[in-house]
Structure 1
Amino acid sequence: MHRRDLLTLGAALGASAALPARAQAWPERPIKIYQGFAPGGNADAIARAVGVELGKTLGQPVVVESQTGAGGTIAAGSVARAKPDGYTLLLATGGHAVAGALYQHLPYKTVADFEAISTVTFFPFLVVVRADARLRSFGDVLEAARAKPDAVSYGSAGIGSTHHLAGELLAKMAKVPLLHVPYRGDAAAVTALLSGDVPFIIAPPTAVMSNIQAGKLRALATTGPQRWPGLPGVPTVAEQGVPGYDVRSWAGLLAPAGTPRPIVDRLNADTQKALLAPAVRQRLEDMGGEARGSTPDEMKTMVTRELEKWTMVVAESQIPRQ
């Protein structure tokens, strides 16, 4: 157990112990976690792993419901409009901040219309090529892009995805031109890479690890600030010529704005407990993530900074706002 985990849990438990009697009566019925992506996908699996453990501590079932579409914004809108009584939560992902930067007319405010509860997990993306590619290192990618402007393309899960914006931020920070080729999801991007339609893709570990292990693909870099434990021999982008580059996706729990602070504090404390459960930590690690909770204020600050970062990338890369 990390010292940070112990300190965060201790603070959260202290807050929980001080709750007034009225708040301690909560919850009296099942709690619902909405997530905005396909059933069986990463977001769904994260919500269910954490939800099962939350249910044990809260003494009420925690039900996960998928409301797919529009990059998670439909589910976010439902939660933003829900009664702020602690019975409706959102499993938000990194796409929550991306959507705030990309969409002009969301029916909610990305930060102001939610109460942050806690982060749950963080995971990097991987820069991946075919195993037989002539690009042997990430440095080769940068050199090729500088030698032939706009001749080096990369695939992503779609326009406005975190993967897409990770590539735009890379091009900006490395000062190299890269041509974005969007696909309909990670599976389509992997297929295009295997077919030789694009020289590299940016994708989460879960989308590419089976092909890396099978010897069909090769990871050149990881996008986080440290090397990813799943591939410790693969350097970060920052290690290979782009200092300061840091793109990770994340997941965390949000509640509607106005949810009473005692309930937020109770949810935070019990989320910390859930993240210490070995089965939850293992499940998140299996998906390429690192189990890591936060205080509500830390999560709110993180989402605010993510929104600012991606708003800048969208503007400077001249990506049309949807």
Structure 2
Amino acid sequence: MTGRIGRRAWLGAAALALPGIARAQGAWAPTRPVRLLVGFPPGGAADLCARRLADALTGPLGQPVVVENRPGAGAHLAVDAAAKAPPDGHVMSLSPMGPLAVNPALMPARMPFDAASDFTPLVQVWDQPNVIVASRDVPQAWPDFVAWLRGRPEEPYASVGPGTSNHLTGALISRALGLNMQHVVYRGSPAALTAIMAGEIKLFVDNITTAIPLAREGRVRVIAVTTETRSAALPEVPTLKELGHPELTLSSWQVIVGPKGLPAPVVARLNAEMDRAIRAPEMAGWMRSIGAEPVGGSAEAVAAMLARERARWARDIPALGITVD
């Protein structure tokens, strides 16, 4: 009698435990190192962010998360590699706005992927302003800067690639001021900033995160920021909106995507772990210290944001006449 009761009790306890066991077995986990592709050289803000995020994910995921730099083409090389990876959760890419929102409208015939259908959005990492960076011999006050530019209407400006937010901001400024500024591509912000300090080029539209250290040291000048409000990291720098150009307002962002067809359990696990890492006080504090605002949130939220951004630039780029030529 006692044995039968004991067996029934054991079976009952096992049955109660089965849902938990099933959930544990159903939760996805990587079976080998996870690669996080970055379309910029080592040392820039995107690379540093990716490495901090990779370190934060390695423990919870139970596998190393390895950052792989694939610079070039405004991050298209890295994003395209992620699009062509097997949809098993072991390859992701950090992407700026160019490949996934701007370039489908700017250069549709040159796109190596379909930005709307070849990816699984996973999480938005951050949002940040762009800044107009100039060499120290360029006037810093806006009226003097504009007068200087109008005396050099074809002045070249650097960006990190066609269709990046850097390129787009420069093209918008050139059009708004009635100029014909020439776009010059550098392989990443560190190379462009080095060129600014060496006098190779006078202007660079940069993300605030990479410009801040040199701006704080006085080695480059920051003329204006592109967001609605001033940056807490450079509070003395005016916005283009307050300087009379609200049409130049935009923000730059970074998201993480995987290839299309990622199974729901993979998306759920990766999103949950990355959202937790982005919102952690140490990571969020570091982002704010370099001028970025941490975002995080659900995979559905980043997918909706990307759809809005694609719609905006599909409308605005033809209307503004911006081209890659």
TM-score by length of 1: 0.79
The one-letter code matched in structure 1 to 2:321 is S
The one-letter code matched in structure 2 to 1:267 is L
Post-superposition CA distance 1:32-65 (Å, at most 9, x none): 2122222333332221111211222223221222
Match of 1:122 among 104, 123, 127: 127
State the match for 1:208 in structure 2. Answer: 211
Tell me how far apart the structure 2 counterparts of residues 192 and 107 of structure 1 sit (CA, whole Å). 30
* CA deviation after TM superposition for structure 1 residue 171, in Å: 3.8
**Cα 1:132–1:107 shift into 2, 3 Å:** closer
Tell me how far apart the structure 2 counterparts of residues 260 and 188 of structure 1 sit (CA, whole Å). 39
Match of 2:64 among 35, 44, 61: 61
Residue 112 (structure 2) pairs with residue 110 (structure 1): no
**Cα 1:308–1:228 shift into 2, 3 Å:** same
1:78 partner SS: helix
Match of 2:242 among 239, 242, 263: 239
State the match for 1:177 in structure 2. Answer: 179
Tell me how far apart the structure 2 counterparts of residues 188 and 27 of structure 1 sit (CA, whole Å). 35
Tell me how far apart the structure 2 counterparts of residues 254 and 121 of structure 1 sit (CA, whole Å). 14
Match of 1:83 among 72, 80, 86: 86
**Cα 1:162–1:289 shift into 2, 3 Å:** same
Gaps of 5+ in 2: 1-19
The one-letter code matched in structure 2 to 1:123 is Q
State the match for 1:14 in structure 2. Answer: none
Higher mean C-alpha deviation, range 101-110 or range 182-191 = 182-191
Post-superposition CA distance 1:249-275 (Å, at most 9, x none): 221211111111232122222112101
Gaps of 5+ in 1: 1-16
State the match for 1:218 in structure 2. Answer: 221
Post-superposition CA distance 1:159-215 (Å, at most 9, x none): 44421211212344x353241341424455445545667654322234433442333
* CA deviation after TM superposition for structure 1 residue 109, in Å: 0.9
* CA deviation after TM superposition for structure 1 residue 128, in Å: 2.9
State the match for 1:285 in structure 2. Answer: 288
Structure with more relative contact order (C-alpha pairs < 8 Å, separation 6 or more): 1
Match of 2:141 among 126, 137, 147: 137
Tell me how far apart the structure 1 counterparts of residues 259 and 162 of structure 2 sit (CA, whole Å). 28
The one-letter code matched in structure 1 to 2:323 is I
State the match for 1:10 in structure 2. Answer: none
Tell me how far apart the structure 2 counterparts of residues 40 and 210 of structure 1 sit (CA, whole Å). 12
8 Å contact from structure 1 (residues 23, 263) kept in 2: no
The one-letter code matched in structure 2 to 1:167 is G
After TM superposition, the structure 1 = structure 2 runs for residues 1-322 of structure 1, keeping only pairs within 5 Å, are: 20-97=23-100, 98-100=102-104, 101-102=106-107, 104-133=109-138, 135-142=139-146, 150=153, 154-172=157-175, 174=176, 176-185=178-187, 186-187=189-190, 189-190=192-193, 193-194=196-197, 200-312=203-315, 314-315=317-318, 316-320=320-324
8 Å contact from structure 2 (residues 241, 248) kept in 1: yes
Equivalenced residues, count: 301
- Whichever of the two has the greater Rg, that structure is 2
**Cα 1:23–1:74 shift into 2, 3 Å:** farther
Higher mean C-alpha deviation, range 229-238 or range 66-75 = 66-75
TM-score by length of 2: 0.79
